[in-house]
Structure 1
Amino acid sequence: MMTAHSARRTDAIPVVSAVRRDDDPVLAGITLRPGTDLARLSRFSDDRWDLMPAFFRENAPPSGADLNFAAIADPVQRLIAKEFIYARLHERLPGSRACLAATAANGTLLMLKRFMAFVAAGAGRVDLAEIDQAMLDGYLAALRAGGRRTAPAIANLLELPIALHRYGQFLTGGGIRFEPWKGRPAFKVAGCTHAQENTTLRIPEPVIAAMLHWSLKYVDCFADDILAAREEIDTLEARCTIMCAERSTQANLALLVRQRLAARVEVLRAAGRGMPVWSGGDRSHRTSPRINYPLLRLYAGCDNTSQITGSDPAMRLIIDALNELGPETGGMDTPISIDPDTGAPWRDRFDTSTLAHEEKMLQAACYVVCAYLSGMRDSEVQAMRTGCHIVERSADGMIERHRIRSVAYKWRGPRGAPEEWVTIAPVGRAVAVLERLAAPAQHQRGLDTLWLVLKLWGKTKDHVSSTIVRTLDEFRTHLDARYGLPGEPAVPNGPNGQP
């Protein structure tokens, strides 16, 4: 008896769409950002679709807006992918909750490519009409192999072949010809005991308690130093820019640089301080002091550090001062506050590298406080804007009520809807810190959202979006390295003994 696989179709599989025109706008009829140029929307025939005009959530990674069909070499698979994603974005079938969100399109495309790769490996090509239940059972077995995936994760992947049957009318070559698994829901086929919306385990209480403790400490004890250091650097850079512009009137730049360096050395000598050297980090493999030339450049009013390092008199002045005064880690002027728990400064003085790192750690701390003490989802936290914290008093004027205004997205459509969350005072303090921390990035990018990438140089995205996960991991690692003890990390490990 021949199976569907052995009795292969000999007719050509279509590679040109019979259901979509080449110039069909991919986002036609979908809610778009205000000001979107409709003439520039991606068309069905394009091999790369830009879905960014339909992205509203600040926590959605920009990379998810780029659907790259050109990466699918087989024209048959490419057509199936285009037609399927287009249909999922636009066609609402009976019994379904809604069309596919633009933010979920890339994830769906990845699942489709995985399924088609499995089919092609087994059948030699992808023809949805040739797929039978035995092949789908083989796909299920492959997903279960190794035990890496949970049953809910497998159920999510099984939704793909089921959808290829349901959306067959929108595919030129048709979809899977039969109802997979005789219509059983994917979560039952995968072996889930019950349908679950969220299978992510809760963070253990000792872990979140430690994260919250250190986050509040950053917000309440360390933030002022970090923000003051940023103001110091901004002031130095602005003054250096002015000095660089004025130097054209000076006859001897080398002499001027040396005089400014000598003046800085005198300030350090009078204060009983040392010459600025870099903190550890990626330079820690060196044992001799590493002069912080970028900081000295700001005091000397140079375009670049070579105007110092290339001058023998300037270098002799710096080396002599280092030998006399000794080194000082960091070298910035911002004083470091006393840690109330230890009675000692909470860190060495800042340099530009450690300042950028501590700003990122402060951002992570603000996120922990805002998310954990408000109960907001990530998308709701990352939709916070300047002025989102409101304090109201009760009618008798005795009780302060703290509220956060943001946007709720779940079941509220692509734009979301304004919403308020009742919270407590520490969240208000974290928002106040975050507003100051985000201000430079807001000014440079012309945005009022609070969760922006703080880096202001080089090519980078605007919003932290999904990178907040890595930032939180980095924050935990930072706390363990600075405040942990051997066998006793600052943030306890999880139940499996891992961070």
Structure 2
Amino acid sequence: MTTPARLSAPAVATPVPWPDDSVSVLRNRPVRLGTDPASLSRFGDDDWNIRPAHRDAHTTICNLNLRVFPEPLRRQFRAVLLAALDHPQPVEPGGRQRSAEYIGIGSMPVLARGLQLFAHWMHLQGVRQIADITDHDLDVYLQHITGTTTPLRQQANTLNSVRTLWLFRDVLPASCRLAAQFPWPGRTANELVGLRTSNGENKRPRIQDDTMEALLAWSLHMVEEIGPDIRDAWQEYTLLCRGEHSSQAIYVGTAGPRLRAYVDQCRRTCTPLPGIPGPDGPRINYGHVLRLIGLDGKGAFSPAQKRWLAGQGLPVAEHSTVGVITGQIQGRPWRDTPLAIGELSGLWRRLAGALFTVVCYLSGMRPGEVLSLRRGCCDTDEATGQLVMHGHRGKGYDRAPDTPDAAEPTRPWVVVGVVHEAIALLESLHDQPHLFPAQLRVGMFRPSATHARTCSSVNRDIADFAAWVNQTFRRADGSAPIPDDPAGNLNASRFRRTLARFIVRRPRGLIAAALQYGHVDTKVTLNYAGAPDTEWLQDVAVEKLELVLEQISDDAQRLAAGEHVSGPSADEYRRRVVGSADFPGRTVISPRSAERLLGSTDPQVHHGEGMTCVWRPETAACRAARLAQGLPEPAGPDERECRSTCTNLAFTDRDITRRKQDLHDLKATASDPLAPRPLRDRAAAQAERIASLVHRHEQHRNEGAPA
């Protein structure tokens, strides 16, 4: 095999000066709103903070540590990293990349890591300048990297870093320019290290139905019942800490007069002193007493004042509590005692995990898109009346942080009312700009003014919330309210695929999917998940394909076992089921191939409530009804417009079993003397029609002839 010829490097004539040490390393990158310009890293620093230039407030981006580079080569590689921040990445020979595309901030630590390995190899080889590297050196370095035991993905990233170094040669000082030819042309970095790429299949497991339904149900309990109590207790505690609570207005002066007034107040109201649990019983929580009298953070009680308070003979509570319990679960208060201040931080995180679950799962947004939501994101579409949330897309190489002179347009997601309720509760929990702030308290690490919680931290919050529910509450049979998921820990990245399965498989199989999928095709594509976002629709296609194949197999087995089918489309039902069951199968390697296979495999047999629709648009009564009303043509059956005279109908033994149950209920209503006459007449007419349907089905079964 002939080795591809080296690609010649273009001649470089324009000299490039060395950057000044005071130059901001993010001078050509937009930074987040609220970033202090004085805090930005400079070229001469040994530690570069590049987080302010990342779009996503929830993402943790490592600093670029220049100290790890060998000292003789450190300044040269500083210049390389600054060039990668300053300029779009040039297109490789062969043009595989987009033009004018900056390296993502999230990819800069990966680039720095690869350059660090190259720099250390150069130092060991005695190479003092990047410009001294030859073609032979690059071939030796390739053998060196592929001979290590590091994972293949890291090896590929390391080789790509060297190629990136070559691409920026035109904007680097002379000693930093890689003078050799383009490294290792003709093959990708993955091919060079022998890394096989995946086929793009989404292998992330769904959350099983029992677990997801219970998790969502208890998250809704947090929104409606438990969350407001936690919010009120947290707000009371916050006001006490600030000295702004209304109960503190009666205390004035120094600590002594305030303390005496507090003791008098406790005696008048029969209120115990706040306590801390101890081995010999509760002890007085002097810190909370300071908080109650408005002196939190303004000093401490003297030993004499503590002795005086302890000698007043007042009872001491087991805990120091705030707030009251008003929420109820199944008609009873969700707990018997107010919240202890030591519980507030943990309860706040559990509440955040529950509210995140509601917003993320019921919107179909990516976890990062939810974590980046800001205060005031809720709105109502004036044209349609739909409830929406406005946020930023979670993928795309061209995303940039909002800046004072430019802001990336937001996009809407259509949601249900409880999502707005969850967001309203989040906005009342704190005054930070992000709905899910990095931290509630003021701190130096990841300040909440410019940062949101990370995906890993919110995953811990969700798991902690589920564990807390299981420890605090029990089902009537003593089992845990939220069962464990067999596929592993609860993870927000699994919500979207779980939602796709729910839409396809609940509540009534494919006929529900036809209705829901019409919603997906319009609102999800245009609003719900955004026009550029097709991944979620591909998940829906995969789930629908699996359901179609399972349904075909089940229907064919039932026909072979003697299941009877009646109705005007009974023969067509048998033909489609038998014909589809003979399909030998095909390997599905991507969501797109699932869509194509679904189009050629789906027999368009939809099982509904007591009937089966063998879909043919030209004879569908529901389609004719919608068109007569001036509504858009449906993509599938609309059970809301189903007509008993439709020639697309067929009835299996399963449908007749359901109809017999309906017949029993209708007869009971028709004979109920307490029911209004119109309701009894209507029930009697429906019972007569269903009885006739059941009779025809059974008659044709006995005759052994198709209906």
Q: TM-score band (shorter)?
A: 0.7 to 0.9
Q: Could you say if the C-alpha distance between residues 256 and 166 of structure 1 is closer, same or farther in structure 2, counting changes exceeding 3 Å?
A: closer
Contact 2:438/2:453 (CA < 8 Å) preserved in 1?
no
SS in 2 for 1:404: strand
- Deviation string 1:419-443 (CA, Å, 9 cap, x unpaired) is 111122232121111111132xx3x
Which of residues 311, 316, 341 in structure 1 aligns to 2:311? 316
Structure 1 position 173, deviation (Å): 3.8
Residue 314 of structure 1 deviates from its aligned partner by: 0.8
SS of residue in 2 equivalent to 1:390: strand
* Corresponding position of 2:424: 432
Aligned counterpart, 1:492: 484
Choose the corresponding residue for 1:138, options 136, 144, 148.
Answer: 144
Q: Which residue of 1 aligns with 2:377?
A: 388
Residue of structure 1 in register with 2:225 after alignment: 221
1:414 aligns with 2:409: no
Q: Is the 8 A contact 2:321 2:338 kept in 1?
A: yes
| Pair 467,178 (structure 1): closer, same or farther in 2 beyond 3 Å | same
- Preserved CA contact (<8 Å) 2:266 2:273: no
Task: Name the SS of the counterpart of 2:391 in structure 1.
Answer: strand
Q: Could you tell me how far 1:234 is from its partner in structure 2?
A: 3.9
- Pairing 1:449–2:431 present: no
Between 1 and 2, higher relative CO (CA 8 Å, sep ≥ 6) is seen in 1
Structure 2 counterparts to residues 338-349 of structure 1, below 5 A: 338-340=328-330, 343=332, 345-346=334-335, 348-349=337-338
Indicate how the Cα distance of structure 1 residues 339 and 266 shifts in structure 2: closer, same or farther if over 3 A, else same.
farther
Distance in 1 (alpha carbons) for counterparts of 2:442 and 2:333: 34
SS in 2 for 1:417: coil
* One of 179, 186, 190 as aligned partner of 1:187: 190
User: Following the alignment from structure 1 to structure 2, what is the Cα–Cα distance between the partners of residues 209 and 255?
Assistant: 55
Query: What's 1:470 paired with?
Result: 457
Cα deviation digits, residues 259-296 of structure 1 (max 9, x gap) = 42242255345xxxx653347xxxx8x56424333333
Of 237, 258, 261 in structure 1, the residue corresponding to residue 260 of structure 2 is 258
Post-superposition offset of 1:76: 0.7
Question: 2: distance between equivalents of 1:140 and 1:209?
Answer: 48
Residue 298 of structure 2 corresponds to residue 292 of structure 1: no
- How many equivalent residue pairs? 444
Gap regions ≥5 residues in structure 2: 1-14, 402-407, 492-707
How far has the Cα of 1:186 moved from its partner? 2.6
- Mapping 1:175-254, distance limit 5 Å: 175=178, 177=180, 179-194=182-197, 201-202=204-205, 204-205=207-208, 209=213, 211-236=215-240, 237-239=243-245, 242=249, 246-248=252-254, 254=256
Measured after TM superposition, the shift of residue 474 of structure 1 is 4.0
Letter in 2 for 1:315: A
Shift of 1:459: 3.8
Structure 1 pair 198–173 and aligned structure 2 pair: CA distance change class (3 A): farther
How far apart, CA to CA, are the structure 2 residues paired with 1:196 and 1:422?
Answer: 31
> Is the partner of 2:457 in helix, strand or coil?
helix
Equivalent residue of 1:329, what SS?
coil
Partners in 2 of 1:300 and 1:38 — Cα distance?
A: 40
- Aligned-pair CA distance for 1:332: 2.2
Provide the rounded CA distance (Å) in 1 between the counterparts of 2:81 and 2:293.
62
- Letter paired with 1:317: Q
**C-alpha distance in structure 1 between counterparts of 2:127 and 2:484, whole Å:** 50
Letter in 1 for 2:421: R
User: What are the residue-to-residue correspondences of 1:276-287 with 2, within 5 Å?
Assistant: 276-278=274-276
**What's the CA shift for 1:389?**
1.3
1:227, CA displacement in angstroms?
1.3
1:359 counterpart = 2:358: no
SS in structure 2 at match of 1:456 = coil
- CA pair 338-27 structure 1, distance change in 2 beyond 3 A: closer
Distance 1:107 1:355 in 2: 39
- TM-score when normalising by structure 2: 0.53
- Deviation of 1:125 after TM superposition, in Å, equals 6.0
What is the distance in 1 between the residues matched to 2:38 and 2:418? 47
Q: Post-superposition shift, 1:493?
A: 5.3
The structure with the largest alpha-carbon Rg is 2
Alpha-carbon distance between aligned partners in 1 of 2:144 and 2:213, rounded to the nearest angstrom: 45
1:387-410 CA distances to partner (integer Å, 9 max, x unpaired)? Answer: 211234776xxxx62211112253
Task: Return the alpha-carbon distance in structure 2 between the equivalents of residues 30 and 88 of structure 1.
Answer: 7
For 1:34-49, what aligned pairs fall within 5 Å after superposition? 44-49=43-48
Q: Whole-Å Cα distance in 2 between the matches of residues 185 and 21 of structure 1?
A: 32
Structure-2 separation of matches of 1:115 and 1:373: 47
Q: Which amino acid aligns with 1:413?
A: R
TM-score by length of 1: 0.73
| Equivalent residue, structure 1, for 2:466 | 479
Give the gaps of 5 or more residues in structure 1.
1-17, 443-447
Give the distance between the partners of 2:487 and 2:39, measured in 1 at CA: 51
Relative to structure 1, the CA distance from residue 431 to residue 294 in structure 2 (aligned partners, 3 Å threshold; closer, same or farther) is: same
> What is the alpha-carbon root mean square deviation over aligned residues?
4.2
- Counterpart in 2 of 1:403? 388
Residue 440 of structure 2 aligns to a residue whose secondary structure is: coil
The equivalences for 1:100-115 within 5 A come to 100-115=103-118
Q: Which amino acid aligns with 1:167?
A: F
Deviation of 1:228 (Å)? 1.1
- 1:161 corresponds in structure 2 to 162
Deviation at 1:370, TM superposition (A): 1.9
Whole-angstrom CA distance in 2 between matches of 1:479 and 1:195: 33
- 2:379–2:387: 8 Å Cα contact kept in structure 1? yes
User: Within 2, Cα distance between the matches of 1:425 and 1:229?
Assistant: 25
- Is residue 25–residue 42 contact of structure 1 (8 Å, CA) maintained in 2? yes
> Residue 123 and residue 329 in structure 1: after superposition, are their counterparts in 2 closer, same or farther (change >3 A)?
same
Distance 1:27 1:121 in 2: 28
Shift of 1:218: 2.0
Whole-Å Cα distance in 1 between the matches of residues 226 and 105 of structure 2?
A: 40
